[in-house]
Amino acid sequence: MSPSDAAGKIAVKFPSAITAENEFRGEKTLSLDAAAICGVCQFAKEALGFDYLVDVSSVDHFGEEPRFEVVYELYSMEHGAHLRLKIPVSEDSCKAPTVSGIWPTANWHEREIYDMMGIRFTGHPDLRRILMWEGYPYHPLRKDFPLQGKPSDVPGLAFTEVAPLAGGPFVTVPTDGTTQVREPRARHAGEPPRTEKFIEEP
């Protein structure tokens, strides 16, 4: 069964669930009404053979509404087929149904999304943070979370301070230099950007 075949069967079974369909470089993506995700996932697993949940991730479309998307990457071991499902999540509710009852591995994926993005999964058996500590007031993968972090203090547990933007793979400075010059790891913190030219030996 190809991804297009699977998408066609889902469309027949859930005629009002699909809000958009896209194919790019052989990858099939279905955007769904959020309320249909559990039914579609159950059908995809039991009737279409998508027995492997590769990943569940989330996207922050900051400035748009619905602000968030939850993305499900499904794979069929039998057919060697990949299918991507997406559902919208509004910033107001910030909730999505859990699929951990269909694929137990979704448990930790959903906990990470809750921790990093702040989306709560209704019906999840143990929705708690997985990377940050309980009580941490922010969600670091949201686009409005600053790169340097935010100060926080949970008395008796943990605290964070703003980190200096001295370097790293995402911090650069204005310059007319090449990528090698702009790359922060190519210089020491506090030093001006290097301007020497790199000449390859013949």
Same domain, yes or no: 63 and 160: no
Q: What is the tens place of the pLDDT at every residue in 73-82?
A: 999 999 999 9
Task: Give the Å distances, CA to CA, from 70 to 86, 163, 175, 176, 202.
Answer: 6, 29, 38, 39, 51
Would residue 176 count as lying in a domain? yes
Q: Which of 126, 134, 74, 133 is nearest to 100 (CA)?
A: 126
> Mean pLDDT over all residues of the chain?
87
Query: What residue numbers bound the domain in which 170 lies?
Result: 152-187
Would residue 196 count as lying in a domain? no
Which of 10-19, 64-73, 125-134, 185-194 shows the lowest per-residue confidence on average (mean pLDDT)?
185-194
Mean pLDDT, residues 64-68: 96
Would residue 44 count as lying in a domain? yes
Same domain, yes or no: 131 and 178: no
pLDDT band of 198, cuts 50, 70, 90: very low
Whether residue 178 is predicted with pLDDT greater than 80 in this model: the reply is no
Same domain, yes or no: 179 and 141: no
Identify the helix (H) or strand (E) that includes residue 111.
Answer: helix 106-117
Would residue 197 count as lying in a domain? no
Would residue 51 count as lying in a domain? yes
Q: What is the tens place of the pLDDT at every residue in 96-123?
A: 999 999 999 999 999 999 999 999 999 9
Q: Could you tell me the two tokens for 20?
A: 């958009």
Same domain, yes or no: 17 and 108: yes
Counted domains in the chain: 2
